[in-house]
Amino acid sequence: MTGQRSDARRNYQRILAVAKAEVAAHGTEASQEQIARIAGVGSATVRRHFPTRRALLEAVFQERIEDLCERAHQLSATEDGRTALLEWLHALVLYAVSARGFANTLSYEPPVEEPSPHSCGDRIAAAGTPLLQRAIRDKAVAPHVTFHDLLTLAVGIALATEHHKDPETQADRLFRLSVEGLSPEHGSAGVSGNPETSVLVTEGPPDGRL
């Protein structure tokens, strides 16, 4: 029995190592059959450890998710709520840009009434929502902004820049543009339509520094 458990652990680690490489190369479309072949196991073994593609992707990105959650915890001690939120959101954008498939994985998860505590999006939301709530209390962010808005922004920037020749630089530029708004010196003056479509961050330096 002990030997069987050891074999299962070895298979799990081997499959996960191969999956990380395949997802890095092919994104969320990485073939589970190909992962099984490279790992030297059967497809049934892969599915026994990772019953769904989502379960496999969550395992692949687990370390990054844990890093983001830990970063949110560290930033919760930052005196300025606006700074804490923007630094964390910036880290989320750069993580999504640097890890192929990460943004796709997050985009698969629209908000649901009964979220799973193990899903990528929900774990990140649990970590980042307190930072958003604090920034709203500090009147640094408009009260109608939701965490799903922020996640959509981060995912959108990552997906829009993934084929750029310098995706990190371009993503950073778009993030800062999103923070400062199109006309930072004028706020929402001259913008018609729903006032809830105004700039995300309501206070801060016009150069968009984090």
- Does residue 64 contact residue 92 with C-beta atoms inside 8 Å? no
Quote the pTM value.
Answer: 0.75
- Does residue 50 contact residue 30 with C-beta atoms inside 8 Å? no
> SS3 for 141?
strand
Token look-up 């915890």 returns 73
- Residue 108 pLDDT: 59
In this predicted model, what pLDDT tens digit does every residue of 11-31 receive, in sequence order?
899 999 999 999 988 888 888
In this predicted model, what pLDDT tens digit does every residue of 85-127 receive, in sequence order?
999 999 999 999 988 888 888 875 555 445 455 577 888 999 9
Tally DSSP H helices, then E strands, for the chain. Answer: 10, 0
Rounded CA gap, 181 and 123, in Å?
28
What proportions of the chain, in percent to the nearest 5, are helix, strand and coil?
65, 0, 35
Extended beta strands in 63-181, E state: none
Dihedral, CA of residue 73, residue 75, residue 76 and residue 78, to nearest 10? 150
- Residue 145 pLDDT: 93
- Does residue 46 contact residue 15 with C-beta atoms inside 8 Å? yes
In this predicted model, what pLDDT tens digit does every residue of 129-142 receive, in sequence order?
999 999 999 999 99
Rounded CA gap, 136 and 14, in Å?
44
